[in-house]
Structures are given as C-alpha cells and as structure tokens.
Amino acid sequence: MSEATRTYLTPRGLCEGAVAVAAVAAGRARPLCGAARAFTLLERTRPHPDGRREAEIVPADGTAPNALSAARPAFAGLELGRARLLGVVNVTPDSFSDGGRFADTGAAVAHGLAMRDAGADILDIGGESTRPGAAPIDPDEERRRVLPVVRALAEAGALVSIDTRHAATMAAAIDAGARIVNDVTALADPAARRLVASRGVAAILMHMQGEPRTMQADPRYVWAPGDIFDVLAARIAAAREAGIAADRIAVDPGIGFGQNDLHVAQVLDHLALFHGLGCPVVVGASRKGFIGRWSRGEPPGARLAGSVAVALHAARHGVQFLRVHDVAETRQAFAIAERVASAG
C-alpha cells in the first residue's frame, strides 16, 4: 500500500513529434522514455491512508527522475521508437472476448497469422481464461491447448508470447518457440522467476490484486496508481534478484484485474507514472467490461471504438506495448495519429 509520505510523479503537459523535439531542445520539456514525446510538467501526488490526496503541478525541470526520460532498449528484439501491438490469441473455450472462437488449434493458428499480417508485433497465446470469476484449469490441459499453437506460429516466424502463470507451461512453451512470458501474477512463483532467468527470455510482469475468481469482489487501494506502482517495483526487484536482466522486463498495471471503475480511471489517467519504473509499459484494455459500462452497455464484440480510444490514449502517454484483439483497426488508428504528429 502507498505510504503517506510517498510522492508519485506523473508526467503531464505531454507533447509529441516536432513540437516535443523543439521543446526539449529549448529546455522547456523533458523527453518521455527517450522517444519523440516529451512532458513539460509533473504532477506530484501524495496519497494518505485516510483517503486524502495531495497533488500539485510543477515544471518538469532538472529534478525529474531520469527513469522517466531515459530511452528504453529493445525488448525481445523489438525497437521501442513507436508503440507495438500484442495480438491476443485465446485458445480457450470460455474467453470473455471471443467466446471460444479460436479454441481449435487450426483456427487459432490461422487467427494468429492473420494478426501478424495485420501488423501485430507479438502474438500472445493463452490457454487459461483469467477473466473476472474464472476458475483455474489443470496446467496439463493448458499445455494441451497452447503448445501446438505456439509451435506453429513460432515456426512461421512470429514473435510469440505465452500468457500463463504456470512455470511448467512456461517451460514447455519456451521449448516450443515462445520468446516472451506474460504472467498475470508477475512471476510470483520463484520457480517461474528461476526459469525465466535461466532461459534468457523476456517477461511481462502484470499486476493483479487477488486471483481471477475473486479479484473483482471488493478491490481496495489507498490510491490505485501508487499502490500498483509499488507492487510492480517489488516484483521487478524480485525478478532482478533472480537473475533476470533489466532489459528483459516489462510491466503491465493490469487494467481491470482487481480494480473497480474508479481504480481503472485513475490508472489510465496516470499511465505515464509507470515509466518511473524504468521498464517498457504494457497496457491491455481491449474489449474490457469498463468500456461497455462507461458507454452504452455494449457487449465485448461491440467495444472496438472504445478499445481503440484507450490504445490511442495509452500511446500518447508513451506506453510501448498495447495488448489488443483488433490489430488492423488499432494499427490504422496509430498510423493516422503518427502521421498527424509528424506533420510539423
């Protein structure tokens, strides 16, 4: 939990493209993660356990932490000068977003290849639903679902991530060609940390309060962005202690994983805060329930516009990776936004 005396720094006054370059050159802004984005202000937030929160906006002068401005090295071989897309491939019969459409191996492989051709930089393969209320499955069943898909996509030349919290599944998927482990428990299992360290793959450490069956029952924070920041900082430290190199770690604040709508809104508003962890940031909000609740109650398949809106918001705040279901549509939106920003 956040400490009353802890101060959290969120970059504000964001600019991009030629404006960002000029502002940094003039000493009026600091670069954001070394990319063609910059911030002119910082929001200093001090949360208190009684619910009070002090916040002030100050200039982004030389006191801003270097972690916010330092360029990020390549992650799993991908340069991070622009936002990258993880295409979601759910090899499950009970996914909240696609209802088991790709539970068949052939369908999942075809879907993954189509996503790659549409512009996905990474294909994120999962065999266990972690939607709110989901029950765990036997890791043997998880491996039965995902391994043929991982192997086929890796052999086709795709950069594959395995979305699992089970060390045995991680190991088998790495053997089948996966180069990234995406763990909703942030490698809480020491065996998983040792495995990732010894195999030299990259890892995405995601925050989740509780576990899928109960995480949405009554999530509580002092201040969600700060509390999540602290948990992720501790998970990074544990990963580093296990021998995982800093340039092989990314973090995900876990939108909706033990967060009510207020928590989600706070985290999305303070996404740039997480750059202070010094790692690439991943955001997965595609088709999630809050989009329907904040709009007109649309079901998962009708949440494309809201999903793209969140992806554009995250990219503008310097997020390096977006985990999405609708790759072509999100890539198109990014192409337009990037062209406008580079117009000068």
Catalogue the active-site residues.
288, 323
Q: What b-and-e string marks burial along 171-210, b requiring 16 or more CB atoms within 10 Å of the CB? A: bbbbebbbbbbbbbbbbeeeebbebbbeeebbbbbbbbbe
Number of neighbours of residue 314 by Cβ within 10 angstroms: 23
For the chain, report the end-to-end CA distance as a whole number of angstroms: 43
- Give one word for 299, left, alpha or beta, with left for phi > 0 and alpha for psi -120 to 50: beta
Residue with tokens 């906006």: 57
- Quick one: tokens of 337? 């936004």
Q: How far is residue 71's CA from residue 231's CA, in Å, rounded to a whole number? A: 23
Contact between 147 and 176 under an 8 Å Cβ cutoff? The reply is: yes
Q: How far is residue 136's CA from residue 125's CA, in Å, rounded to a whole number? A: 17
Contact between 96 and 129 under an 8 Å Cβ cutoff? The reply is: yes
The one-letter amino acid code at 120 reads A
Helices (H) then strands (E): counts for the chain: 11, 12
Contact between 226 and 219 under an 8 Å Cβ cutoff? The reply is: no
Q: What b-and-e string marks burial along 80-94, b requiring 16 or more CB atoms within 10 Å of the CB? A: beebbbbbbbbbbee
Task: Assign 62 to helix, strand or coil.
Answer: coil
- Quick one: tokens of 164? 């699992």
The one-letter amino acid code at 73 reads P
Q: How far is CA 177 from the centre of its chain?
A: 22
Q: How far is residue 339's CA from residue 344's CA, in Å, rounded to a whole number? A: 10
